[in-house]
Amino acid sequence: MPKPDHSTSGRRRAILYTRVSTDEQADRGYSLRDQEVRLRRHCERQGIEVVAHFREDHSARTFDRPAFQKLLAYIRANRSSVDTLLVVKWDRFSRDATGALGMIRTLDELGVEVQAVEQPIDRNVPEQLMMLAIYVAAPEVENRRRSLATKRGMRQAMREGRYCNRVPKGYRRTRDEHDRTVIVPAEEEAAYIRRAFELAARTDLPLEEIRRRLVEDGFECSKNQFTLLLRNPLYAGKILIPAWRDEPEELVEGLHEALVSERIFQQVQRRFEVDRYGRKQRGKKGTFKLKPELVLRGHLLCAECGELLTGSGSKGNGGRYWYYHCHHCNGQRFRADDANREVVRYLNEVAVAPEVAVLYADIVEDLAREEKAARARKVARLRQEIAALEEKLFRADEAFVEGQIAPDSYGRLKSKYQDNLNRLRFELEALTEMSESFADQLQFAVKLLSNLGTVYRRADFRAKHMLLGSIFPRKLVFRDGSFRTSPESELIALLGGKTQKMRNADRPATTGVLFGSPGRIRTCNPAVNSRMLYR
């Protein structure tokens, strides 16, 4: 990913891009105005001409944002008038590592260099490309950790019998004596649902006829909703916890009141030919048993047709020999031990050079401090939002008691507020219970990236399989005795390009300037040694 050529004479011309998401509106230091001031001061100091400014108030998880799409259109229409895109920090540009690296490449092709003024990267120095990868990956790591903690909290609550998803028909949300969210029957709707199950279990009436009769009596339910309703074990007092990662699907007893007996529920399920979870039976997807000799199975694509390779063993002179091969086009077949051995060499090639990892570790500490401060701001904001929602609920209750709001409007309003309140409380719980080990985790990641081959070689075959899946989610292609990713991963391209530079015997022995936090500039000459000199 080379730096665009801006060697033409004249001042640099830049587009300013400032962004906040809805969640960040109240966070100090993230306001659009504050970002604009920082960017314009930087341009004044550096003599950069500002040709346009785009303001965004959307999440940075994708680039499908209104203002950013207008920015791209502006660049394409004015390619000779702009050469730089400036943001305050890389998380203002994107919070998705893969998308960020791809968009940087796209802008490079348009002749525009992306730069974060408070986390600058000199892309003429090969070692700094990995710093770029760390900067754009750190926000995504924080988002995923938060989402993961919230997901685990909700799954644990469901295991305890508390229903945490959107309130289904026939129930309403309230709080128990311990101030925990629970669902209880909403009697008017619950009566329709009990009648629906009774008719479906004890008569031969078509399900659509049953639904039509209930609708005529005042029950609001579409055809698809009605089918899902009759298949939902929640109405029999059960909670279905879907399979997730290595956790199997579970059906647990709920704390809520069942609307129908389990016997009636099972009678209705027989009309659908479904399993005990209330879902239609389907053929199982093809799976394979993981074998130590075929640890790459599931990670290899055929170089000819692009389908997943399988593997098998065959007996020969002296024992059993294992092969990876394609059963779709029969275009590839090669020895498994050759590929298994070669993948270790490939991991060593894409690993971060140890002398450069020392620098990245210092950058990680800066990012961890910023993440901790951002988390504290988010906790404070969540508490404010929870307090505001609780106040709205209180006012809605008062309005209903005083007859100022109709019962149906009150029910919809309260359900909406309580759903949002439940979500915010789970998110707050996840944030406050998150460990302070973010820096340790990032440091571990840096060490892992600098010792990929060694870690892989020492792992058991199950851990090897998982490690490959996390590093190469787009799979690998093995051809002519060597590996490549398919399609080429942006991150692997950065790692590989950097490593080749480091291993080049005739590399120039020049000193590159490595930038970290504002006000901290480091120099590093990896061609001579890995010592960093602070000045």
pTM, rounded to two decimals: 0.46
Check residue 273 and give its pLDDT: 67
Domains 13-118 and 161-269 share a fold: no
How far, in Å, CA of 181 to CA of 160, rounded?
12
**For 161-269, which CATH class?**
alpha beta
What are the sequence ranges of the domains in the chain?
13-118, 161-269
Three-class secondary structure of residue 49 per DSSP? strand
Check residue 515 and give its pLDDT: 34
The candidate with the shortest Cα–Cα distance to 200, out of 176, 229, 222, is 229
The runs of H, that is alpha helices, within 115-166 are: 128-159
Check residue 97 and give its pLDDT: 79
Check residue 389 and give its pLDDT: 85
Check residue 425 and give its pLDDT: 78
- Give the CA angle between residues 69, 73, 77 to the nearest 5°: 170
Total residue count of the chain as it appears in this document = 535
SS (HEC) of 186-201: CHHHHHHHHHHHHHHH
| Radius of gyration of the chain, Cα coordinates, nearest whole angstrom | 29
Residue indicated by tokens 């900067």? 135
How far, in Å, CA of 142 to CA of 371, rounded?
7
Partner residues linked to 113 by β-bridges: 84
306 contact partners, CB below 8 Å, separation of at least 6: 486
Three-class secondary structure of residue 38 per DSSP? helix
Partner residues linked to 335 by β-bridges: 323
How far, in Å, CA of 373 to CA of 364, rounded?
14
Check residue 393 and give its pLDDT: 80
Average pLDDT along the chain, 535 residues, taken 10 residues at a time: 49 92 54 91 94 89 90 92 93 85 90 92 76 77 75 84 86 79 88 94 89 92 91 93 84 92 89 58 54 88 89 82 90 90 86 71 72 79 86 81 79 78 76 59 70 84 83 83 69 51 37 35 34 27
The candidate with the shortest Cα–Cα distance to 4, out of 85, 120, 74, 93, is 85
| Distance between first and last Cα of the chain | 29
- Measured CA to CA in angstroms, residue 245 lies from 141, 182, 466 at distances of 18, 27, 12
The answer as to CATH 3.40.50.1390 being correct for domain 13-118 is: yes
201 contact partners, CB below 8 Å, separation of at least 6: 264, 267, 268
